[in-house]
Amino acid sequence: MTYTFEILGVSPMLNVFNHQQELLQQPTPTGVEYLSSQRCTLDALIESVEAVPPERGWNLDQAVDTVINFWMNNVETVYHWKQRLEDAGEQNLIVSRLADLRSLQAEFERLFK
């Protein structure tokens, strides 16, 4: 399985919580996980990946490698979002997306139909 990871932005904690609750109401989970953390560090992002439910059937090592590769290859982007998180204050989270590539493609196609 091929994974993709991206930092999406900074959001208030309550918005992230509400979005997660909406996703739980969906009848079938997708292969897309929206993750959040109070810190924009590699360790914190890896911890958020490790919290993905095992029912997904994902290869956790490969998913973590995807996050590490993103971190190493997108230093300017990571720095940008780290600064935005610091500017936003304590009541905000960094939001990222981890997905298997096919599920993400299916989600985008569903949005555009």
User: Which string of DSSP letters, residue by residue, matches the chain?
Assistant: --EEEEEEEEEEHHHHHHHHHHHHTSSS--SEEEEEESS-SHHHHHHHHHTS-GGG---HHHHHHHHHHHHHH-HHHHHHHHHHHHHH-TTEEEEEEEEEHHHHHHHHHHHH-
| Residue 87 predicted with pLDDT over 90 | yes
Read off the pLDDT band of 29 (50, 70, 90): low
The pLDDT tens digits of the residues spanning 101-110 come to 888 878 778 7
Please give the pLDDT value at position 91: 94
pLDDT value at 30 more than 80: no
Structure tokens at 94: 């960094």
Structure tokens at 25: 């109401």
| More confident: 58 or 74 | 74
pLDDT band at 28 (very low <50, low <70, confident <90, very high): low
CB 106 within 8 A of CB 32: no
Q: What is the pLDDT of residues 39-70, one digit of tens each?
A: 999 999 999 999 887 777 888 999 999 999 99
Backbone angles phi, psi at 100, to 5 degrees: -80, 145
Q: Which residues contact 75 (CB under 8 A, 6 or more apart)?
A: none
